[in-house]
Structure 1
Amino acid sequence: MSIFIVRLEHPDEAGWQEWVGPHVEWVREHVAAGTIIASGPSVGTDIRQGWLVMRAVDEPELRQYLASDPFWQHGIVENLLIVEWDPIFGELDRLSSSPGGVPSFGE
């Protein structure tokens, strides 16, 4: 299972207001299922942004999860950023490929 960091920008304030309730329910469902590890907004940015730390087999599966988000379904996401991430140190190291160790880059 891979870990991904996802950024969703929401420049459409009216659309965000309309769909935030269903989006929050979507987040809660994915937290309960273990797909979303953490979620929350950026603070102090010019454009509203949400960040997700998610678990998926691969990026295509992750994109399937994102496609079920009401924000995505109603076009309230711009500038999607997806980065696969390996949390080697810290509170999420149990999810790492090499917890607390030295990563084997390029292998």
Structure 2
Amino acid sequence: MLHLLILRYLGTEADVEPHVAGHVEYLERHHAAGTFIASGQTVPSGQGGAILARGVDRAAVLSITAEDPFVRAGVAEYSITTIDVGRVHPGLAGLVRAA
């Protein structure tokens, strides 16, 4: 399973700013663990971001997103779309199938 996590700011960028360092550490920790395979800001910037996660079930994703300093501070929220991958580009097969 893959999970598309869409992060949406609930306030202004100024509200989010004090929590950026903690959020970056959160991202780095989950990238290092192999759970997050891609992440970045949405365009235009200032609205939130997106993460592609793998290797965990939906309950684990809910727990992981609750750890995000943005969420704990109440300045952002996630929507989660779980994807049961049916087809994948050959170049990504090892990464996705390992999920």
| TM bucket, shorter chain | 0.7 to 0.9
Match of 1:82 among 44, 65, 80: 80
> Aligned equivalents of 1:22 and 1:87: distance in 2?
35
- Between 1:53-62 and 1:26-35, the stretch displaced more is 53-62
**Aligned-pair CA distance for 1:29:** 0.6
More helix by share: 2
Superposed CA RMSD in Å reads 2.0
**Aligned-pair CA distance for 1:92:** 2.9
Ranges in structure 1 where 5+ consecutive residues have no aligned partner = 98-107
Ranges in structure 2 where 5+ consecutive residues have no aligned partner = none
**Aligned-pair CA distance for 1:96:** 3.9
* Structure 1 runs of 4+ with >3 Å offset: none
TM-score, with length taken from structure 2: 0.81
Higher relative contact order (CA 8 A, sep 6+): 2
**Bigger radius of gyration:** 1
User: Percent same amino acid at aligned positions?
Assistant: 31
Residue in 2 that maps onto 1:32: 32
Secondary structure of the structure 2 residue equivalent to 1:89:
coil
TM-score, with length taken from structure 1: 0.76
